[in-house]
Chain A
Amino acid sequence: MALLPEVKKDYGKLKNFVNGEWIEPETTKYIDVENPATTGKIGELPFSTKEDTIKAIEAANEAWMEWRETPPITRARYMFKAKNIMEDHFENIARIMTQEMGKNIDEARGETRRSIENVETAAGVTSLMMGYNLEDGAAANIDEEAIITPLGTFGAIAPFNFPAMIPFWFWPYAVATGNTYIVKPSKQVPITWNYIMEILQDVFPPGVLSIVNGSHEVADALMEHPGIKGISFVGSTPVAKYIYRHCAENGKRVQAQGGAKNSLVVMEDAVMDRTVANMLASFYGCTGQRCLAGANLVPVGQKAYDAVLPKFIEGAKKIRVGYGLNETTNMGPVVSGDAKKKILGYIEKGVEEGAKLVLDGRDIKVPGYEKGYFIGPTLFEDVTPDMTIAKEEIFGPVVAVIPQDTLDDAIEMINSSNFGNAASIYTQNGRWARDFRYYLNVGNLGINIGIVAAMSYFPFAGYKDSFFGDMHGQGKDAINFFTDRKVVIMRWF
């Protein structure tokens, strides 16, 4: 099938959107943005400086009071307008995402939908932000109330794996509640968010929503500047720890989402055909680069092992790898040459440590895309929980099969991980499902579903080393993160 057309072949040199205008950053340092399927250059990202970032912060601070004084119902109307524009550009957003990140077009369309859903949820700000009061709450004739108020300017430091969606876990809630916002997109996949900013550029008053492209210097400037009230971050655990610590040192609110090592547990009574199809989507969807992707496949007991493994391997062999703009592609490339190298290193490590490489995706060739950063579906058997590939986040299409004798053993193994992002169980047994839900220390838990991606009106974050902070992304947690409660006690003489 012919490829879907790319929106553009080259998006040129990116600029920053500050105070309602696209401006050239002061920096002279640029890096190429690549299409991971073709390895061709599709744009140039500036490494904006601290001064570039401060300009954006000052403009956002300047815009804040007027935006704060804009009534919530009016702010909601801005969100409706943003939603409608996003709908008009739905397909372009998805295709750019595929072009720069590699995920297939269905996944990109799904991500675009989820981005819009967060705008829709945030548009309910008039209800979500409502405070509370109690007549005679303090004493007779003395009333007490709690008002929910915005704080100022916030920022997002975004990862590569969801080029559009992840800033949407944050900015719609921040802006709808009366804050101003600065997004720093991933340096690997900045084009999607620059496109989104371009289509939304006339929606909000100048300074309300801004974008600063770059790398560490931008992130540090956001974390250190007193004009920023809080930071939302998604990425690896070591960086999440740094962000958490650095924001705390600078007196900021922070929600820092880290890495994951998610286990999918299969019980002997699972509906195997449905289970296998769902697990394939979890392990190999987005080429394993979701923080909610399955990583360890855990059959409980020999019967489950015998029932699930052959079907899973058969299914994995049928996964069609290619450029995501071909609508028949099941799995695209990984995001970059560095990512590919790192994943191949983990596969080598698995072999060295004695795991049995049953499906080897290292040498896959995709006709027409020979230079692309492709890795085929990979699966290891005979993996023990102490092996590197069982413990560390690989972030690629690599499955480690780690059988366990009982459900209790599986729960113990999962709970012993440093990560606590997600886990799933496949079973028809309510008691097993209940025990799994009750005893597991993870933030997102699936029962017969392998990608436990909270909808926009539910909170999203993991436990343990998968999350540093208190309030999660999305939903009411996001409203709380971007607002404070002001208690007023009133007495009238």
Chain B
Amino acid sequence: MSASTVLPSAASAPGRLHRLWDTAPGLYGVLATVDHKIIGKRYLVTALVFLLLGGMEAGALRLQLAQADQHLLTPELYDQLFTMHGMTMIFWYAAPVLSGFSNYLWPLMLGARDMACPRANALSYWTFLMSGVFLYTSVLFGQMPDRGWFAYAPMTEHAFSPGLNMDFYAIGLTFLSISTTVGAINFIVTLFKTRAPGMSLDRLPIFVWGTLTTSFAVVFATPALTAACLLLFLDRRFGTHFYDAAGGGNQLLWQHLFWSFGHPWVYIVVLPAMGIVSDVLPTFCRRPLVGYTFVALATVSTGILGFGVWVHHMFATGLPATALSFFSAASMVITIPSAVAVSAWIATIWHGRPVFRTPMLFALGFIVLFVIGGVSGVATAAVSFDWQLTDTYFVVAHLHYVLIGINVFAVMAGFYYWLPKITGRLLDERMGRWNFWLMFLGFGVGFFPMHTLGLAGMPRRIYTYHAGLGWQSQNLFITIGTGVFALGLLVFVVNCFWSMRHGALAGDNPWDAPTLEWATSSPPPSFNFARIPIVASRHPLWESRLEPHGPRSRIDGPLMDAGRDTFGVSALDAEANEILRMPEDTVWPFVLSLSILVAFYGALAGVWAAFGLGAACVLVAIIGWFWPRDGAEPEGVAA
């Protein structure tokens, strides 16, 4: 089966394609590349670095809390560390790592040569990196953000936070949101324009549905954060009165704006992860996903419903009962699509012939942790009981079960599954099993007791607690468990380095998987496919076993080597209707990102001339970016 659909290997593909698509060598290539695979890899590595930074911050917190009445950390440092831990993990790790997978895989899964907007892709990476650098320069000032990752007003106002800490917060998040928004627009346009002919919407991998849904969510939700941060910055630096009661403002406005963004955001960081499992699990069950249509619909409906539940973060603020009832109900309804997905996964295992390699272990662990996180979410959705649960360690347990259980475990499955495609070498299975069990058991010991701690009354965000309250032994347990979990992560990092040198060669399709990314070499050439695929089903590489007499995808479509070209298709049915000339390497995205960085440092310092200079450079960079190279306006412009 596999042999007939494997491409001629990259080495024998026309040199012309290499000349057209390979990234330029040297520093210029590093700064100017628009290759989605390079950008994807950068996203993954950078996100992992943030994961490790966030993990170290957590480690410090856990050491401080391991015993009662400790003074390892001052309250100032504790407050900065728990804030940075939350910000780093939720913003600079959880979504970017999924963007990394999406960036790398989408064109390969969709049968295209690149994303629709390769330069915008580069921009979204550079702004991601630079926003993180911007945030972490706060360490050098000893003024890291310190008001929690959701930063409630009025404590974030200048009167209560006179340092630069919360300016780093407001500007840093605004900077990152440029990256996220540009990336999201790119995904949406890519999905609707640059798929292989025949890759209709009902043939997309669920992972693609996941990222597509969250891309729309980003477009509609991120402006709420931008608005919130803008108003905060204006209050802090220009004396406006959005959030301060004395001037006629209202601190609840921050909460509404922030959570209008923040709740969709938590679905943004889990839906693509659920998509990863929806694509990995069937491969290791050796059958298609049960209920594909239901799972795709569940993904989209969760994304939409996610906009209607934000008030459940505000149940204790004193809102009227009608509002509380509505949002409590909505927060329960949103569980149903997730239950559909869980049922689909279990059904796929039940009716499949599972193979228990490392990606599958992570997928199984994911399902269990997902459900625990889900039920603790239902508990917090029940508004009158949430009045006990909210702001305690029960919520800390819930959020870690959903963030680690859904995002991290799926990401681990994704790494073990797709790193061989990216690097050409498999990871070690034995280390993989150690990785899984250390993480799974460490996670259980480390985070399950947070539920009971919360039920025993321990509030969140406290730097210490008295010995007589009965919280000490559970806290010690938790610290040990999280340490074991971290060890598991370390094994993963070791495995990655080991595999790059000694890993078995993966070949095109080591997992006998069905989707298009496995129809090219590992790693793929710069142009992804020597010949554009023509798609006939949802599982192109399994067609002969699933429908022996059914239609066949072709991996020998047009060569398209007249220029740097890929197909443009119709939105729904993917009928090829144009040829898109893709942009060459260019430094404008890098220059534009640097200009934004300069402008934002100017704003931070209150040096408005620097802000102006940065803004002017942004304008120049945008004009340079879009100015046509041969003097005439092209037919269509890929950003």
- Chain A partners chain B: no
Residues of B within 8 A of A (CB): none
